[in-house]
């Protein structure tokens, strides 16, 4: 950047999600010369990131909720067991195109979902709910308007029609 001497020891970094709309004055020679593009993590990378964010969580590492052959969660020879790796792979499979921050939010939301259920550990059920909540958002109940609100909305919509 202009105004700094080469030996000043100052490095200026900038980040954007929209490099295509940056002013050319910022990207000309002598300003931000180097451009580094960071892509969202691959499946394998998402597994590794999820493992890091799952580390502080207490996970239900016993038999899975719905994969038990006897339906009662017992330990029959066919009972599937869940590992920390399985949690990470589940999160990675459900989150193509997500960033590391998204994965952190999903792991955090999984813990919140478990706490809401008064569970001692996060289960795959909580992970699935967290993915839905983080990526899709909250389920909204049907909105009901008072007669006064309906009248105001009607006036607004009528104004839009008249102006267009």
The DSSP 8-state label assigned to residue 122 in this structure reads B
Mark whether 157 is an active-site residue.
yes
- Does a structural domain hold residue 73? yes
Give the domain extent around 76. 43-135
The answer as to whether 12 is a domain residue is no
Whether 29 is in a domain gets the answer no
Please check whether residue 152 lies inside any domain of the structure: no
Is residue 110 domain-resident? yes
Q: Are 84 and 54 in contact (CB under 8 A)?
A: yes
The domain total for the chain is 1
The pLDDT-based confidence of 139 (bands split at 50, 70, 90) is low
CA distance 11 to 16: 17
CATH code of 129's domain: 1.10.8.60
Q: Quick check: is 142 in a domain?
A: no
Q: Is 120 contained in some domain?
A: yes
Catalytic residue among 65, 149, 151, 157: 157
Quick: pLDDT tens for 5-28.
Answer: 666 677 788 888 888 888 888 888
C-alpha span between 52 and 107 (Å, rounded)? 10
- pLDDT tier, 1 (very low <50, low <70, confident <90, very high otherwise): low
Distance separating alpha carbons of residues 33 and 27, to the nearest angstrom? 7
Q: Is the residue at 161 inside a domain?
A: no
The pLDDT tens digits of the residues spanning 100-134 come to: 999 999 999 999 999 999 999 999 999 999 999 99
């Amino acid at each position: 950047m202009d105004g700094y001497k080469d030996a000043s020891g100052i490095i200026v970094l900038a980040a954007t999600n929209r490099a295509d709309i940056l002013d050319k004055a910022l990207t000309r020679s002598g300003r931000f010369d180097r451009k580094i593009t960071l892509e969202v993590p691959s499946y394998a990378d998402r597994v590794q990131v999820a493992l890091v964010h799952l580390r502080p969580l207490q996970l239900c590492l016993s038999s899975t909720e719905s994969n038990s052959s006897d339906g009662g969660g017992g330990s029959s020879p066919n009972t599937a067991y869940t590992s920390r790796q399985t949690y990470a792979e589940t999160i990675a499979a459900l989150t193509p195109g997500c960033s590391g921050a998204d994965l952190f939010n999903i792991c955090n939301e999984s813990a919140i979902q478990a706490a809401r259920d008064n569970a001692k550990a996060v289960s795959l059920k909580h992970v699935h709910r967290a993915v839905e909540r983080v990526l899709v958002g909250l389920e909204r109940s049907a909105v009901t308007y008072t007669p006064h609100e309906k009248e105001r909305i009607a006036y607004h919509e009528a104004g839009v029609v008249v102006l267009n």
